[in-house]
């Protein structure tokens, strides 16, 4: 008996909801429905749709906009669906920023891929020279010196700068001896010579870097990149290690020359090490106006 009584209550509640919902719909839309919803034929069957979304032609014959002249009616714009790939192709491409103009005075002497115009020097007993997987020129230990030289004429013999990064891997003597032209002669910027600490120009007035006025004593660590720069003008030879100026030599009546011996094989431009493993990268030359 209790189940029958409960069923009756549920039935009356359903009837009440239907009556209230239909009354609400009829009052608002002047058509049969339930609250905000109507039954509409679609295809082979019926579907429940929101009454407010039904176009006037498919819904009521009369809408509030039609009965009230004060209400303006607008037609919804037609929506066109564009395939994503078509939209992507039609989208304007971002404007490519122009690359900065190249410096006509800058010459890249090493591209990080191959030796190019650098050739290993046959000192006798030299170590292996290769471009390693990190894009640097690497010298292995030699019985004496290991090095490379530029196989063509340099871009200039005065009023220029040459720069590179150098790193000592192992050894106790110079890891970078940079030979360069000075007008009609040559000189070498020695870094870490005479047991690993002497820095200077060889030769000035026939005196080595360890004996002339350009000598400095520095400490160099293994596996550390040092930025080397040499500037040659008609008046001066200057040299830097990182941001510290090591050489500021007025040429005047100074005699500039190479130390006699194996270093002479490094002309016109060369890089050498003495019984030391080392690496070099980012070698550039800049003409000075």
Model confidence over 44-60: pLDDT tens digits?
Answer: 666 676 766 666 654 44
Q: Is the pLDDT of residue 7 over 80?
A: no
Q: Pull the structure tokens for residue 241.
A: 């290690």
Contacts of 51 (CB under 8 A, 6+ apart): 25, 29, 31, 33, 36, 37, 38, 59
The pTM for the full model equals: 0.66
What is the residue range of 206's domain? 106-287
239 with 112, same domain: the answer is: yes
Distances (CA, A) of 179 to 19, 86, 151, 155, 234: 104, 61, 13, 14, 17
The mean pLDDT of 152-170, rounded to a whole number, is: 97
**Separation between Cα atoms, residue 52 and residue 40, nearest integer Å:** 13
**Separation between Cα atoms, residue 254 and residue 183, nearest integer Å:** 13
278 with 188, same domain: the answer is: yes
25 with 120, same domain: the answer is: no
In this prediction, residue 99 carries a pLDDT of 65
> Considering the domain boundaries, does residue 78 fall inside one?
no
Q: Pull the structure tokens for residue 6.
A: 């409960």
Overall domain count for the chain: 2
What is the chain's mean pLDDT, rounded?
85
> Considering the domain boundaries, does residue 75 fall inside one?
no
249-286 pLDDT, tens digit each: 999 999 999 999 999 999 999 999 999 999 999 999 99
In this prediction, residue 2 carries a pLDDT of 74
Q: Is the pLDDT of residue 114 over 90?
A: yes
The rounded radius of gyration (Å) of the Cα atoms in the chain is: 43
51 with 182, same domain: the answer is: no
In this prediction, residue 289 carries a pLDDT of 80
Handedness of CA 105, 99, 164, 213 (dihedral sign): positive
- Report the b/e string of 171-200 with b at 16+ CB within 10 A: bebbbbbbbbbbeeebbbbbbbbbebbbbb
Q: Which of 10, 40, 67 is the last residue of a domain?
A: 67
Within a 10 A sphere around the Cβ of 21, how many other Cβ atoms? Answer: 15
26 with 158, same domain: the answer is: no
Q: Is the pLDDT of residue 116 over 90?
A: yes
The mean pLDDT of 138-159, rounded to a whole number, is: 96
Q: Which of 67, 91, 119 is the last residue of a domain?
A: 67
Task: Tell me the CATH number at 269.
Answer: 2.60.120.560
Q: Pull the structure tokens for residue 93.
A: 């491409």
> Considering the domain boundaries, does residue 74 fall inside one?
no
131 with 191, same domain: the answer is: yes
Q: What are phi and psi of 262, to 5 degrees?
A: -60, -30
Q: Which of 18, 51, 67 is the last residue of a domain?
A: 67
Look at 181 and 70; give whichever has higher pLDDT.
Answer: 181
In this prediction, residue 61 carries a pLDDT of 43
Residue count of the chain:
289
37 with 127, same domain: the answer is: no
210 with 275, same domain: the answer is: yes
32 with 172, same domain: the answer is: no
Within a 10 A sphere around the Cβ of 37, how many other Cβ atoms? Answer: 14
Burial, 145: exposed, middle or buried (Cβ in 10 Å; 0-12, 13-18, 19+)? buried
> Considering the domain boundaries, does residue 50 fall inside one?
yes
> Considering the domain boundaries, does residue 92 fall inside one?
no
> Considering the domain boundaries, does residue 81 fall inside one?
no
145 with 275, same domain: the answer is: yes
The mean pLDDT of 115-141, rounded to a whole number, is: 97
In this prediction, residue 32 carries a pLDDT of 74
Q: Is the pLDDT of residue 72 over 60?
A: no
Contact assessment for residue 263 and residue 177, using Cβ atoms and an 8 Å cutoff: yes
192-245 pLDDT, tens digit each: 999 889 999 999 999 999 999 999 999 999 999 999 999 999 999 999 999 999
34 with 125, same domain: the answer is: no
76-85 pLDDT, tens digit each: 555 555 566 6
> Considering the domain boundaries, does residue 91 fall inside one?
no
14 with 137, same domain: the answer is: no
């Amino acid at each position: 008996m209790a189940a029958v009584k409960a069923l009756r209550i549920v039935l009356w509640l359903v009837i009440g909801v239907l009556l209230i919902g239909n009354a609400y719909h009829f009052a608002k839309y002047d058509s049969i429905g339930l609250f905000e919803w109507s039954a509409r034929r679609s295809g082979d069957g019926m579907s429940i749709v929101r009454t407010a979304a039904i176009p006037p032609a498919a819904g009521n014959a009369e809408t509030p906009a039609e009965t009230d002249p004060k209400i303006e009616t607008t037609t919804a714009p037609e929506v066109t669906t564009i395939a994503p790939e078509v939209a992507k192709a039609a989208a304007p491409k971002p404007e490519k920023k122009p690359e900065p103009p190249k410096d006509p005075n800058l010459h890249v002497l090493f591209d990080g891929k191959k030796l190019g115009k650098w050739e290993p020097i046959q000192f006798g007993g030299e170590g292996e020279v290769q471009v390693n997987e990190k894009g640097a020129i690497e010298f292995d230990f030699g019985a004496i010196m290991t090095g490379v030289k530029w196989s063509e004429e340099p871009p200039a013999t005065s009023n220029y700068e040459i720069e590179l990064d150098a790193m000592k891997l192992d050894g106790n003597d110079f890891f970078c001896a940079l030979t360069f032209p000075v007008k009609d002669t040559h000189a070498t910027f020695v870094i870490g010579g005479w047991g690993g600490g002497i820095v200077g120009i060889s030769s000035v007035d026939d005196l080595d870097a360890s004996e002339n006025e350009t000598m400095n004593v520095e400490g160099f660590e293994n596996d550390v990149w040092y930025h080397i720069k040499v500037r040659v003008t008609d008046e001066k030879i200057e040299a830097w290690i990182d941001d510290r100026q090591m050489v500021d030599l007025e040429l005047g009546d100074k005699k500039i020359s190479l130390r006699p011996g194996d270093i002479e094989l490094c002309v016109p431009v060369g890089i050498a090490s003495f019984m030391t493993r080392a690496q070099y990268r980012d070698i550039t030359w800049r003409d000075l106006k």
